[in-house]
Structure 1
């Protein structure tokens, strides 16, 4: 089977909705509500149609298509700058140290402080691969396609980039972190708060949450134990982020306590290593690579084979067919 990553279209709405229903909750960027998804697609279309090659308040929605069947089997999103429509809040986990001479003891207490340190950063998120396709490197293709898109449209993105990983969700769809922290102040459960945030943003958190630091020792053990931990289904995603150069700098999501990973955009491995070259031949063989072509709505990525020759690249016939490129066209490539 052959797969390509491309810009999402209006006719992909039903497929996105069906995938959203499979997420199991806590997936803010892929809510199982058609009107929310329709609005996101409209915003994505506007981003793809904007000709100015500079940073804005954009979101790009990409999908993974099985070219043989026409089915959409995965999706991912890229935000050019968070915190433009409403403030982007995180909790920052810090350690406070106090010493008593009389007791001869030093105490270290962890605190959670509400911050918007990451406002203005770009974000990669909304990645979901249909359970029936979790083999063959398609998760890697989806994840790295976002960095290929960024490399292809670099002026549109910030100097820093982040990725929020979903935190631990219990079997009932609740969040131990939400129940132990914010849930005490809002009179709504995690699912209600998460859905409200997807539509209205998280300003309500800043409006109602206490502004002083929260000592984690005052939280329940269940809430304290999940701070900075990804959902079990997100552990592989965390490893992929780390392999790209992302690190956890002790920022956590204000809803579920999941880790927020950050990196310098130009130091993300795929962004840094991607190269653009002219196709000099189309032949079988070569090394496994990700290959991209096109700009904005014409952007496409697939897995293929590439070899460097005569100042350009040779790509395999199937990759050329999937991307619609020929000898003399430019492609961007990076090793798998």
Structure 2
């Protein structure tokens, strides 16, 4: 395996921009806008440069590099504490029950309520793997490397963690949820709103959206049908989150209606299952594992082999470790 997870740098801007153009829209953490991406890289560099282990509002951007070519083939992001500069809004799916004595009938209506319940959580997001690399476990490496990074810097993350999955986007690039809910109040189509959101954030939606509950029965059929559903390309990501212990607890994105998954940070499977060990030898072996080493700007992760202190030569080279160094490892 010649792929390495490492912190993003300014030199990765063009690679990130080229990948952003492949997302197909609705991927707000990876906008096809160089200025917005450059701002993310600048914010990430500041986070990697800060040594204090305290919780504040930061962003870490990681990339997947093909060491054989030097190309960046994937990326992911970690937000330490959402909702600090402006409120973090979600729709919570709930039920309102009413009973009529005269009709002897009980009516239950599903409603979407605008809430800030998840404010202060950490967030994993921005995961994108180049279409040509979607084999060999690289998506799993990208996703799980974030949890090993969180484990290595636990004091800098909240006790709850969330992941927002992109909602359903139709073949024309539109969002049925946007068209049925938010789009009625903004005078712009989904593509326009998506571009604005990617650069400026979604606070403009919260500012203009009605604050009272929205009865889903009053939405069009297409909008109702996609509430809480992930984009078809996000189903595998949803399964990976579920395998890590994340659950859908009736929160959806206010922009495209996609599901928000949540978990207790210390109960995430990779964080709970990882162990630290000293490397005692470098030798060939077959013991598949996800491996990581280093802190902050020196963080590295890869897929490799490790057991009883022995690490395979390729992984040792990728992580730049030798006998006497400490690594984190978790079963694949």
TM-score range, shorter chain: over 0.9
Deviation at 1:280, TM superposition (A): 1.1
- TM-score by length of structure 2 reads 0.98
Match for residue 321 of structure 1 among 314, 317, 320? 317
Task: Give the Cα separation in 2 of the matches to 1:145 and 1:237.
Answer: 14
Q: Please, what TM-score do these two structures have when normalized by structure 1?
A: 0.97
| Number of the residue aligned with 1:94 | 94
| 1:103 CA drift (Å) | 1.6
Where does residue 288 of structure 1 map in the other structure?
Answer: 288
Deviations 1:189-246 (A, max 9, x none): 1122222223322222222111110000000001000000000000000000000000
In 2: Cα distance, 1:64 partner to 1:85 partner: 29
Unaligned runs of 5+ in 1: none
Does the Cα contact within 8 Å between 1:286 and 1:314 map onto a contact in 2? no
Cα distance, 1:263 vs. partner? 0.2
1:288-307 Cα shifts (integer Å, max 9, x gaps): 10000111111000001111
Whole-Å Cα distance in 1 between the matches of residues 198 and 123 of structure 2?
Answer: 15
- 1-structure distance, mates of 2:189, 2:156: 37
Contact 1:147 1:271 in 2 (8 A): yes
Q: Distance in 2 between matches of 1:300 and 1:320?
A: 11
1:335 is the counterpart of 2:328 = no
Q: Match of 1:123?
A: 123
1:244 is aligned to 2:244: yes
Residues matched between the structures, number? 332
Aligned to 2:54: 54
CA deviation profile, 1:301-321 (whole Å, cap 9, x unmatched):
00011112xxxx211111101
User: Post-superposition shift, 1:54?
Assistant: 1.1
Equivalent residues in 2 for 1:11-50, closer than 5 Å:
11-50=11-50
Shift in Å, 1:85? 1.7
Report Cα offsets for 1:6-37 as digits up to 9, x if no partner: 00011111110000000000000000000000
Give the gaps of 5 or more residues in structure 2.
Answer: none
Separation of aligned partners in 2, 1:115 and 1:329 = 46
321-330 vs 91-100, greater mean Cα deviation: 91-100
RMSD: 0.9
Give the superposition deviation at 1:98. Answer: 1.5
What does 1:102-141 correspond to in 2, within 5 Å? 102-141=102-141
- Which deviates more, 200-209 or 133-142? 200-209
